[in-house]
Amino acid sequence: MSAARADVRQVLGRRVEEKASDRYCLAFARRNRAVGSETLGVVQAAAPVVATVVEFTGPPPTPTLPRLTERTDWPQVRAAVETLTPPDPAGSPLRLRTVVRQKYVEDTRSAAYQVMGQVYQEVERLSGGLMKPAAEVIGDPEIPTSVTQLCWLNQTMRTFAPPEALSEVAASDTVAAFDLPRRLYADADVPNHRCIGLPAFQQQHAQLTGQGVTIAVIDGEVALSHPALAGRVVQRRNYTPEPWGNPSPHGTAVGGIIAAADPLFAGIAPGAMIYSYKVLATTPLGNGDDFSGARAIQDAVEDGADIANCSWGAGPAGNGTSREARAAATAWSLGLAVVKSAGNQGPDPRTMTSPADAAGIVVVGATDVDGLQVQDYSSRGSADGKPGPDVVAPGGNAAASISCCLVGGGFGNAGYGTSYAAPHVSGLLTLFLHEDPELVPDQLKERLLATPHLLANAGPDAQGAGLVFVG
């Protein structure tokens, strides 16, 4: 490690070495050796194209969306907003929450861009001049069209500019660290609604279908053609090198658990709209990285989604300061209810996957399909003060997996994992939001945690408050 840091210091300067992670230094040293071997005429495999993530100094103050339903002047405020914003002709409910949230998003985004703007501008200038990326970078299918991208949600920048260009901005006081991105992985290894009380709830609230609520499925591509989802899936953005048109069994199953409309295999909220943000490819090598996951959460905020389902992880959960954890926490404060799978690394302690350690968000562990027992694979806490997942929901197991939408149409075994427990909770939050469109994420979480059932033989590290229950 010391030799790798010495390489960085010698070539890129002291300020880069001081701010670089160990992973970055090792990657740079490998690249340097590969370039040196080429100079000497030694035939070696080409060094892979590697992005750099630049982290900036502490995030700007983020306002927390107020609890609008607790305002005594709510009728008057709503009436005032209605005079400015006519009701949607399609019948979607008017939400003061949306109007206030947009203002908070604009303020937070502007503050972040002020912090990152000068460094971004300089890297872009250098990338277009003498220090522009090599031709293989521009032509690489995994490289986004833009060589340098910003994520205001967690104040980071991902760039494929060469390290020499970054050495020019390392002295800036706004630059906190240089690191490498981390690849995302689905929290699944390859529904029973009675156990969570859904049939009784639906009998009492037959009008609640999730209509007017939008769920961001940040996952693999959700199949547009599945009859149970037809007309309610919108392909928003693709963060992988794999083109649209390659639907994912994982993403399609997640979308179906939330919103499938079928008499026999109904999702929890069969009237909801699904926004598909593709961060997982059909093969793991094509998966997006943690910057892509954070950008997808950010885009869901900007696109006005109400709930984001994240059934993936970016490595072990830490202390809430990782890039993706900061992004999820900021999104929550700006009004996006983020639901995250706990991970499939159990039963050992402290095995939840990032960003399960993010402040505020709902983390979901897995039980068998009947909701009787927390599964061994379901990741445990603690992480950054959280004793474990917030709740558990059916995720299935090898003996009895979750049945849901298949890519080719129809329904069948989708596999098992906390990946499939999380969308059960996203579906329930969708129904809560349909019933009261002005609820903010903290209120949705409070309602979710009001009536769970504690399971025997499992502690808080495994089940949190218990099995979600709405009956």
Q: Which residues of 375-412 are buried (b: 16+ CB within 10 A; e: fewer)?
A: bebbbbbebbebebbbbbbbbbbeeebbbbbbbeeebe
Beta bridge partners of 218: 277, 310
Residue 419 · residue 393 · CB < 8 Å? no
219 is catalytic: yes
d(CA 69, CA 443): 10
Question: Which of the residues 419, 424, 426, 434 is marked catalytic?
Answer: 419
In order of 221, 276, 354, 386, 423, the CA distances from 255 in angstroms are: 9, 9, 21, 27, 8
In angstroms, the CA 285 to CA 209 distance is 37
CB 105 within 8 A of CB 299: no
Which among 7, 179, 219, 306 is annotated as catalytic?
Answer: 219
Please provide the DSSP assignment of 221-243 as one string. PPPSS-TTTTTSEEEEEE-SSSP
The active-site residue out of 193, 226, 250, 434 is 250
CB 444 within 8 A of CB 438: no
Name residues whose C-beta falls within 8 Å of residue 110's C-beta, 6 or more positions apart in sequence: none
The residue among 384, 365, 383, 385 whose CA lies nearest residue 375 is 365
Within 13 A of 391's CA, how many CA atoms are on the CB side?
Answer: 28
Catalytic site residue 225? no
Q: Which of 385, 316, 306 is nearest to 339 (CA)?
A: 306
Q: How far apart are the first and last CA of the chain?
A: 56
Residue with tokens 């993706």: 324
Tell me if 378 sits within 8 A of 369, measured CB to CB: no
Report which of 261, 334, 257 is spatially closest to residue 303, judged by C-alpha positions.
Answer: 334
What's the CA gap between 265 and 262, in Å, rounded?
A: 5
Q: Comparing C-alpha atoms, which of 53, 14, 8 is closest to residue 29?
A: 8
327 three-state secondary structure: helix
Note the helical H segments in 20-176.
22-39, 74-84, 96-127, 135-139, 163-166
Residue keyed to tokens 């709930």? 307
Is residue 419 annotated as a catalytic residue, yes or no? yes
CA distance 180 to 165: 16
Pairing of strands 185-186, 312-313: antiparallel
What amino acid positions are annotated as catalytic residues? 219, 250, 419
